Amino acid sequence: MKVAFVEHEGCFAVDLEAETKEEAAQLVRFGMNRTDELRVCRTYVNAQGDFTSAIIFAKNKRSDSTIPRRK
């Protein structure tokens, strides 16, 4: 998965690009099943100076792993 973090004038963007079919399916399931509830959004730095971030969205209680066919 390619990840790009971009700062715009009024917001930040995390852009995701699938590199495999499995990642593409994961992104589709994310689009279908996530809610607008942002559970976690934080950045950490450890003693070695490594930075990591976590952004966690809630999942719909009726989430489904089946991608519907479009005709």
Question: What CA–CA distance (Å, rounded) separates 30 from 24?
Answer: 10
- The answer to pTM > 0.85 is no
Question: Under 8 Å CB-to-CB from 14, ≥6 apart: which residues?
Answer: 3, 4, 5, 55
Residue 29 resides in a domain: yes
Residue 42 resides in a domain: yes
Domain count, the chain: 1
Residue 51 resides in a domain: yes
Is 80 exceeded by the pLDDT of residue 59?
yes
Residue 65 resides in a domain: no
Q: 49 lies in which domain range?
A: 2-59
Beta strand spans in 8-71 (E): 12-17, 34-45, 51-59
pLDDT value, residue 35: 92
Residue 43 resides in a domain: yes
Residue 24 resides in a domain: yes
Is 90 exceeded by the pLDDT of residue 15?
yes
Residue 25 resides in a domain: yes
Is 90 exceeded by the pLDDT of residue 27?
yes
β-pairing verdict for 34-45 and 12-17: unpaired
